[in-house]
């Protein structure tokens, strides 16, 4: 049975540990990194989802929910003062009745720190695809579950007419969380990777 994008978010709720390898294609070099992850879902009528819809001038009643995330990550080539940490809010606004495709609203992007509207869709294998276009680059991501406690992600970053990086992540759940629990961004600590 096919699942909706919001159900994919619900299944992603919980604490995770991520290991990733990023291939910097122009330099023909690979870099490893890791992240601590915690994902929580947001109800469609939560203040965070309403605010992100209003930020993008979209009727909040069209949203089916979302997530609030905060991430801390490290990469092998980091300098001592580099800090890969931040927060963002997602809202899902479906474009069809099957709730498997639509707009992904973000409070801030990962590649560029500006509000951004991307596209989401569920593929035939219930993988979640996210496509985000920025002024200088385009990012294509695919998330899928190998098992309930193992989530995988691939992503490519394309800028200025050529591919810049390709990344593979393996994320292992380390603690179950209530996927239906609503949160306030002021009271919850969340972690994610450069994707979410």
Predicted pLDDT of residue 140 = 95
CA distance 37 to 89: 15
Lowest pLDDT segment from 4-8, 35-39, 60-64, 114-118:
35-39
Q: Residue 69 pLDDT more than 60? A: yes
Average pLDDT score over the chain: 82
Residue 140's nearest CA partner among 167, 103, 116 is: 167
Tell me the pLDDT band of 135, cut-offs 50, 70 and 90: confident
Residue 64's nearest CA partner among 92, 37, 36 is: 92
Q: Which residue ranges make up each domain of the chain? A: 5-176
Distances from the Cα of 150 to the Cαs of 70, 124, 173, 174, 190, in angstroms?
20, 19, 6, 10, 18
CATH of span 5-176: 2.40.128.20
Which pair of tokens denotes residue 12? Answer: 């992603």
Q: Residue 182 pLDDT more than 70? A: no
Predicted pLDDT of residue 153 = 95
Cα dihedral value 195, 54, 51, 152, nearest 10: -20
Cα dihedral value 26, 28, 34, 40, nearest 10: 40
Predicted pLDDT of residue 103 = 97
Q: Which residue has the tokens 């695919």?
A: 142
CA distance 102 to 28: 35
Q: Which residue has the tokens 């940490």?
A: 85
Tell me the pLDDT band of 181, cut-offs 50, 70 and 90: very low
Neighbouring residues of 42: CB distance < 8 A, sequence distance ≥ 6: 48, 49, 65, 66, 67, 68, 89, 90, 91, 182, 183
Torsion sign across C-alpha atoms 155, 151, 94, 45: negative
11-50 pLDDT, tens per residue?
Answer: 999 888 899 898 888 778 888 888 888 889 999 999 999 9
Predicted pLDDT of residue 16 = 86
Model pTM?
A: 0.80
């Amino acid at each position: 049975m096919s699942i909706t994008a919001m159900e994919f978010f619900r299944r992603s709720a919980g604490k995770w540990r991520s290991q990733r390898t990023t291939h910097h294609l122009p330099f023909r070099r690979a870099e490893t990194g890791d992240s601590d992850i915690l994902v929580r879902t947001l109800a469609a009528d939560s203040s965070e989802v309403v605010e992100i819809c209003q930020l993008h001038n979209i009727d909040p009643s069209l949203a089916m929910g979302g997530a609030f995330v905060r991430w801390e990550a490290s990469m092998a080539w980091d300098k001592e003062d580099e800090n890969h940490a931040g927060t963002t809010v997602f809202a899902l606004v479906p474009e069809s009745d099957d709730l498997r495709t639509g707009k992904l609203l973000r409070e801030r992007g990962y590649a560029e720190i500006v509000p951004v509207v991307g596209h989401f869709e569920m593929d035939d294998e219930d993988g979640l695809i996210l496509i985000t276009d920025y002024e200088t680059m385009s990012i294509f991501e695919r998330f899928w579950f190998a098992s309930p406690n193992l989530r995988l992600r691939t992503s490519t970053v394309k800028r200025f007419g050529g591919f810049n990086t390709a990344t593979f992540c393996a994320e292992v759940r380390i603690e179950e969380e209530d996927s239906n629990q609503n949160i306030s961004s002021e009271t919850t600590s969340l972690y994610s990777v450069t994707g979410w």
